[in-house]
């Protein structure tokens, strides 16, 4: 099963890099580390027939402020910064979902949640696999956490690929 996790993690990391390119945030290759310091965190869960988990993005306020649109105002209110981080998390999972669909894996996405503070020892006890990846940028470190469990019937099925369409979205 860890082969599936490694593949899915690599797909997600590639989508985070692609999203960073759109946001003009230059990221260096990801390394596995655990974040520290004051963070703004966004997390969003997902589930499918044979796969479930969560995607979490975390960074210090300077990283998020470096990519914040100017129309959010200066200084950016904490509530707007949280909303932005939640939406970026949603975008990252949406991109990942589209890649999974093209590999024959359907997932439904939850609503993102956000938090401000310090991570101490955030163990993940409800999934089989969990990892943190750190991306270095000139504005500071951006952290990605990927948690996932795969059922015994899980497989990437490129021959059964599904193109993303609007009616596949679940809105809350």
pTM: 0.86
Tell me the domains of the chain and their CATH numbers: 2-168 (3.40.1550.10)
Question: Contact at 8 Å (CB) between 58 and 41?
Answer: yes
pLDDT tens sequence across 109-148: 999 999 998 876 666 667 789 888 888 888 888 999 999 9
Concatenating the DSSP letter of every residue in 120-148 gives: ------SSSEEEEEEEEETTEEEEEEEEE
Which pLDDT value is given to residue 47?
94
* Alpha-helical regions (H) of the chain: 2-22, 61-67, 78-102
Question: Contact at 8 Å (CB) between 61 and 41?
Answer: no
């Amino acid at each position: 099963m860890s082969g599936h996790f490694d593949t899915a993690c690599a797909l997600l990391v590639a989508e985070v890099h692609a999203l960073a390119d759109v946001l003009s945030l230059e990221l260096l290759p990801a390394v596995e580390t655990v974040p520290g310091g004051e963070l703004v965190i966004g997390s969003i869960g997902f589930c499918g027939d044979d796969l479930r988990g969560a995607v979490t993005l975390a960074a210090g306020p300077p990283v998020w402020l470096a990519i914040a649109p100017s129309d959010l105002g200066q200084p950016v209110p904490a509530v707007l910064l949280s909303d932005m981080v939640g939406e970026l998390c949603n975008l990252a999972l949406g991109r990942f979902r589209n890649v999974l669909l093209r590999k024959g894996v359907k997932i439904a996405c939850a609503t993102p949640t956000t938090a401000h503070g310090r991570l101490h020892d955030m163990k993940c006890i409800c999934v089989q696999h969990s990892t943190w990846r750190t991306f270095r940028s000139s504005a500071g470190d951006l952290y990605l956490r990927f948690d996932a469990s795969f059922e015994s019937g899980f497989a990437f099925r490129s021959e059964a690929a599904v193109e993303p369409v609007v009616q596949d979205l679940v809105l809350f």
